[in-house]
Amino acid sequence: MKVVIVGGVAGGATAAARIRRLDEQAEIFEESWEAASNRVRAAMESIYSDIINDEAFIDMLNTIEKIVNALNKLIDSIGGLKGVIAALGVVGTRVFKEQIGSSL
């Protein structure tokens, strides 16, 4: 016997269990939102694992980490966040000095 149960949750599971008791050889297929989302999730994981090479991904993360560390060293050499804000202020006043002067 082949049975398709549409809708999962408790009712679908109960129906499947009763059908299984009546016919142990029954082919039971339960279709529900949860089952469909699980199939999609599994397919996506398979696609990602096929497309993304783990070594390339790790290399990319290591490169990003090196960039972040270099930026941290640069910020520390300027004097931390206060130094960065001061440097941005100096650059901003030099770039926009004419606009600042005309508005005063």
Cβ neighbourhood burial of 32 (10 Å; 0-12, 13-18, 19+):
middle
Q: Are residues 60 and 83 in the same domain?
A: yes
Q: Are residues 29 and 65 in the same domain?
A: no
* Cα separations in angstroms, 83 against 22, 54, 75, 86: 77, 39, 8, 5
Question: Using DSSP, how many helices (H) and how many strands (E) does the chain show?
Answer: 5, 2
pTM: 0.38
Q: Are residues 1 and 37 in the same domain?
A: yes
Q: Are residues 42 and 80 in the same domain?
A: no
How high is the pLDDT of residue 17? 85
Phi and psi at residue 4, to the nearest 5° = -115, 125
Q: Are residues 25 and 67 in the same domain?
A: no
Tokens standing for 25?
A: 């050889």
Q: Are residues 74 and 34 in the same domain?
A: no
Element (H, E) at 95: helix 80-95
Residue 39 pLDDT greater than 80, yes or no: no
pLDDT band at 65 (very low <50, low <70, confident <90, very high): very high
Max CA pair span of the chain: 89
Contact residues for 97 (Cβ-Cβ < 8 A; gap 6+): none
Looking at residues 70-84, what average pLDDT do you find? 83
Domains held by the chain: number: 2
Domain that holds residue 98: 55-104
Q: Are residues 59 and 100 in the same domain?
A: yes
Q: Are residues 62 and 23 in the same domain?
A: no
Q: Are residues 67 and 47 in the same domain?
A: no
